[in-house]
Structures are given as structure tokens and as C-alpha cells.
Amino acid sequence: MKQVYLDYHTAKPVDPRVVDAMVPYFTEKFGNPSSLHHVGDVATEALEESRRAIADYINADDDEIVFTSGATEAINLGIIGYALKNKSKGNHIIISEVEHISIRNIAKYLEREGFEVSRVPVDQYGMVDIRKLERRITEKTILISVGYASNEIGTIQPIKEIGALAEERNIAFFTDAVAAQGLVNLDVQRENVHLMALSSNDFYGPKGVGVLYMKKKYRVNPIMIGGGQERGLRSGSEDLAGIVGMRAAVEIMRKEMDSEVKRLEAYRDRMIKQVLEEVPDSYLNGHPTERLASNAHFRFDGIEGESILLMFKDMDIAVSTGSACTSKTLEPSHTLIATGLLHEEAHGSLQLTTGRFTTDDDVDAAMKAVPDVVSRLRELSPIYDSKKR
Ligand code: PMP
């Protein structure tokens, strides 16, 4: 039986066209951009072309792009680097309750280092309320962090409004755009984003490469100290093959995004309609309309996410119940809890995420499996109300 993969928010395969673009940079174009000879020049050219391609996608200038070893490092550099650089101006930062685990843990770290952190709640759909955000701003606030979209429930935040508020109050606005990149048009000028993290893998490029966008006025302190690469902001030899891969991935995405998004939206809408119609006591998690094209997220009364996962695994269908970054703990997803769900409701959730290589057959297989898995688990469930069976 063919393996079905519906967990694109956790990891994406590298597009074979990206692999082709990368290969020469492991072998004949192996140079170091810091070298002043011809081999180094070839590397420098590739590095700068990649920087330009990524800057162009988000409407930034080339010198506002810093290559990192992935989104986690970009987030560390953006938030910790900005906080350290600006601590004389204030020690207060605001994050949303639905930030990625890396941002939640950075916030805890900064609290231990003497910063104050406010956490803005979200509504039942996981959306940040601008008025609540505004009420948390003090004269000591230096940074606001709200992820562009949820990698779990797919809700897209009102980024433009948050950016406008931050700009008006002269506060830096950081957004982790990893879940949204390649699915929405990002424009740091239009959206007043000052700092933004991206990852190569979420464009179908290699893992372990990322970018911090940093608007000129919003400087950060480096957190990786060494030979001074990336204008002193990120020392260490650049992963040139990876960076070239990220560029190729961005260029392919820009050509194909519109048609890809349409295709994924059709899958998403079909899955949502079918599950809600065919499975009694099922609900959609996340926003009904302001959601990523790739994301369908459900909860079912009376069953546990863990057992759903195992039954899907038996059928060779890869799905998720929440953020992979926290799935090794038995804690329910902080995002689902922030939307007001009880622990048992959060545990009874299923995340189906599609992507570039998803086929009709994959979606058919999942749609056939969901009603069956849910009813089999409910048969065994001591908590599912028998009257509903
Ligand atoms: N932010 C989001 C929304 C993510 O989904 C992830 C993981 N893909 C990260 C940040 C961290 O990215 P990386 O693994 O590239 O460090």
C-alpha cells in the first residue's frame, strides 16, 4: 500500500529541482564567499544572488537579509538580538499565546534575564485581538511578536493591523512567517513588519537554512560570535549549497504559488466539508475563513489524538495531532488550549496538512479513513456519550 503523507506542516520533502540546483555547490562550486580568489568569487556571487531572490520575494532590500541555520536561529537572532540591543530603551516585550514553541521558550529565557513578557490571549479561532494587544503596550515595550499564521490550526493573524499599530507606537514588530511562507504573499513594507523569520524547508528547500529579515532601523546584537560573516550578524561559514537551495525553492514557489494555493484550497475545503458532514460530533479547529490553504484541523468528541495517530499509522497515513515540536510531551497543544479548549478536547484533535506533492488519492485515503477511525475509537471510548453512538 502506498504511504500517504498529510503532515506537510511538520516537514516538507525537498523539491527535486532544488536538489539539482544545489548539487554543483557541494562539488565544483565549493568555495567560501570570504575568499578573495576566483573560487571565492563564484561563491560570493551565488550567496548574493540568493540574498536578492529572498529579499525580492518579501519586498525587502538585500542588506536586510541575514542567512541563518534555520528559523529557530533566525527567531533567536531577531528576538534575543533585538532585546539585547535595545534593553536601554525598555525591557518589556509582548508575544501572543499561540507563538511557536521556540518563541515561547525564548520569552521564558528573556524573563530569566530580567525582561518582562506579556502574553496576549487569542479568540476561539486562535486570532489575536488587536485591542487586547494595544492595552498591553507600556512605555517600556520594545518588541511585539505575533506569528504570521499558526503551523497547527492554520489561522492567519491580522498582520497588517498589528504592524500598523507597532509602527505608530514605535515598537519593533517581529513575525515568525514560517507557516505562512509560500502560501501567502509576504510584503514587509505593506505589512509594516520590522523583523521576520523564514525557513528554507517551508519553501520545499533543505532543512537547516533560514533567514532573518531585519529592517534597517531595527538593529540586532549578534548572538553567534566569530569570523564576522553576514555583516557581523551571523558568524560561521555560510551553508552555500543550502542557501542556493533556498533561492531555487523561492523561485519555484513564486512561479507556482497561485496555482498551488488553489489546488490546496480545494483539498482543504473538501476535507473540511466531508469530515464535518460525515463524522458526528466533529468540529473545525482554527478560523473558518482566515486560514492557510494547506490546513484542515478537527476535533472529535470522545477520542484521544494519540490513539487516532496510531490507527492512522497502522494504515500508513502520516498525520499529526499538534505541533511536532511538542509532540514528544503528553501536554495538549498550547495553541488549542489558548483557543479555549479543555485538555480532553485538545487531545481529541487531528491535523491534516497538504502540500506540493499531495494527490487526490492521498486525500481520498484520508477521507475514507477518518469516519472509520473515529467510530472505531468511539466504540472503545469510555468517555464518549453512549447516547450519541
Ligand atoms: N516556526 C514555525 C512556525 C515552525 O513550524 C518551525 C518548525 N518548522 C520553526 C519556527 C522552527 O524552524 P526550524 O526547524 O527551521 O528551526
- Measuring CA to CA, how many Å separate 51 from each of 43, 179, 293? 12, 21, 27
The answer to whether residue 127 sits within a structural domain is yes
Q: Which of 12, 199, 294, 295 to mutate to test the pocket of ligand 1 (most atoms within 8 A of CB)?
A: 199
Instruction: Please tell me if the CB atom of residue 192 comes closer than 6 angstroms to any atom of ligand 1.
Output: no
- Indicate if 315 and 243 belong to the same structural domain: no
The answer to whether residue 46 sits within a structural domain is yes
Q: The CATH number of the domain where 350 resides is what?
A: 3.90.1150.10
Catalytically annotated residue among 325, 326, 344, 375: 325
Using the mean position of ligand 1's atoms as its centre, give its distance from the Cα of residue 53 in Å.
21
pTM here is 0.96
User: Which residues on adjacent β-strands are paired with residue 118?
Assistant: 94
> Which residues, including other chains, have CB under 8 Å from residue 329's CB and lie 6 or more apart?
none
Q: Are 76 and 223 in contact (CB under 8 A)?
A: yes
Q: In this predicted structure, what is the pLDDT of residue 330?
A: 67
Q: Which of 14, 178, 200, 203 to mutate to test the pocket of ligand 1 (most atoms within 8 A of CB)?
A: 178
- Indicate if 118 and 150 belong to the same structural domain: yes
Q: The CATH number of the domain where 61 resides is what?
A: 3.40.640.10
Which residues in 149-161 are b (16+ Cβ under 10 Å) and which e?
A: bbbbbbbbbbbee
Q: Is 351 a known active-site residue? A: no
- Indicate if 236 and 305 belong to the same structural domain: no
Using the mean position of ligand 1's atoms as its centre, give its distance from the Cα of residue 379 in Å.
37
Kindly state the DSSP code that residue 184 receives in the 8-state scheme: B
Tell which residue, 315, 389, 290, 309, has the closest CA to residue 351.
309
Residue range(s) defining the domain that contains residue 368: 4-11+257-374
pLDDT in tens, the chain (389 residues): 579 999 999 999 999 999 999 999 999 999 989 899 999 999 999 999 999 999 999 999 999 999 999 999 999 999 999 999 999 999 999 999 999 999 999 999 999 999 999 999 999 999 999 999 999 999 999 999 999 999 999 999 999 999 999 999 999 999 999 999 999 999 999 999 999 999 999 999 999 999 999 999 999 999 999 999 999 999 999 999 999 999 999 999 999 999 999 999 999 999 999 999 999 999 999 999 999 999 999 999 988 777 888 899 999 999 998 544 455 566 889 999 999 998 888 888 999 999 999 999 999 999 999 999 999 999 987 778 755 55
